[in-house]
Amino acid sequence: MKKIPVSLILLGSIIVGVGLVAVAMMTGILPMRDVLTGFYTFVFGLVVISILAIIGAVFFGMYISHRIFSTRQFTTFEEEMLKMKEDVEEIKRKLED
């Protein structure tokens, strides 16, 4: 059985912790008495969400680029450009002769 990386466990625990704090705040278990505490909580949540969004965007970009490059077929535009290149080379040869 594969061993789970420590970084994945740490990231998962951070996500679960932020989720539990958010649920506790919404249900009223964790009161927001101090404005400064609320501000720090907001900034912490914003930073965590931003980091996760960047990581998700990188993985999504990798997935999309893999899908694009894995087809290994020319598009119709590329095929037309290759035909046009052959035609231009043929015309050059005729002009040189």
d(CA 7, CA 59): 16
pLDDT at 31: 76
| pLDDT tens-digit profile, the chain (97 residues) | 788 889 889 989 988 988 888 888 788 787 776 656 777 878 888 998 999 999 999 999 998 888 877 767 777 888 899 999 999 999 999 998 8
Residue 44 and residue 3 in one domain: no
Residue 67 and residue 80 in one domain: yes
Residue 19 and residue 53 in one domain: no
Q: How many helices (H) and strands (E) does the chain have?
A: 3, 0
Residue 81 and residue 38 in one domain: yes
pLDDT at 89: 93
Residue 39 and residue 18 in one domain: no
pLDDT at 35: 54
Domain carrying residue 27: 1-31
Residue 43 and residue 86 in one domain: yes
Contact (CB, 8 A) for 15 and 52: yes
pTM of the model: 0.43
What is the count of structural domains for the chain?
A: 2
